[in-house]
Amino acid sequence: MRQIRKQAPPPALVNWIASNRNGPNCNYRSLDTDLRRTIREALVAEQGHLCAYTGRIIETETCHIEHLKPQAHCEALEDVTYRNLVAAVPQPNTPKLPYGAHLKDNWPSDADAALFVSPLQNGCAARFSFSFSGKIQPTNPADAAASETIKRLGLEHDVLVGFRREAIKRTLQAPGKGPASLNAKAARQRLQGLQQQELDAPALEQFSFALINALEKHIERIQKISAKKNRA
């Protein structure tokens, strides 16, 4: 999971809320198609074109507007509050996916809110660790919220694990060589490139947060092997 730094809401949404907040229809269901598209465009841009939960690539037409606090539990203006909105796969009116926003559904309730690691939380990325085979687990085995979030979002689903495995494999493989063949210098350059993307690129690489984690582990592994050889 990558931390999302929310920007200012689209002016069109601000104006719509100002015009409707005292009426009976100031709710998400009343947003028209054009305004929803405007919101999706803003969300996709601020997320670097990555799904808020899965890290899959998204575009304006291949995602839907997801409520971090589920609509079923929203009060007052919460279902149209921009900070409660993110973009996630898939696009509306498509078959349900066995992971991500579809699996999350109406979780968490207010009672379970503390068990949800939100992509808006500071340091959320560091709470998840990825193996070279694409599997995900809490960085701290005692982190109950990270464990529950993985389960509720289906982040361990075989499809996502397979996607991440292939992305990590490509990242750690030097051109023309076997798996995990990237040397330390090239791995550091690749890592720096991904970190720089986080700062200034309009679009990020798919599963960028998992690639960063894998590169850090790969570099650490090389360093340990090198240190062991030096001691021999």
Name the average pLDDT for the chain: 96
Sequence-separated (6 or more) residues with CB below 8 Å from residue 101: 52, 53, 64, 66, 88, 89
| pLDDT over 90 (residue 231) | no
**Residue 93 identity (one-letter amino acid):** N
| pLDDT over 90 (residue 119) | yes
**Buried-state track 114-152, b at ≥16 Cβ within 10 A, e below 16:** ebbbbbeeeebbebbbbbbebebbbeeeebebbbbbbeb
Residue 1 lies in a domain: no
Question: What is the span of the domain harbouring residue 114?
Answer: 11-231
- Quote the pLDDT of residue 228: 82
Higher pLDDT, 229 or 110: 110
| pLDDT over 90 (residue 232) | no
| pLDDT over 80 (residue 39) | yes
- Quote the pLDDT of residue 117: 98
**Residue 52 identity (one-letter amino acid):** A
- Quote the pLDDT of residue 125: 97
| pLDDT over 90 (residue 74) | yes
- Predicted model pTM: 0.95
Residue 4 lies in a domain: no
Number of structural domains in the chain: 1
Cα–Cα distance measured from residue 100 to residue 109, given in angstroms and rounded to the nearest whole number: 17
Can the peptide bond before residue 90 be classed as cis, meaning omega within 30 degrees of 0?
yes
pLDDT (average), residues 215-225: 95
Residue 56 lies in a domain: yes
Residue 2 lies in a domain: no
Residue 125 lies in a domain: yes
- Quote the pLDDT of residue 69: 98
Residue 196 lies in a domain: yes
Residue 171 lies in a domain: yes
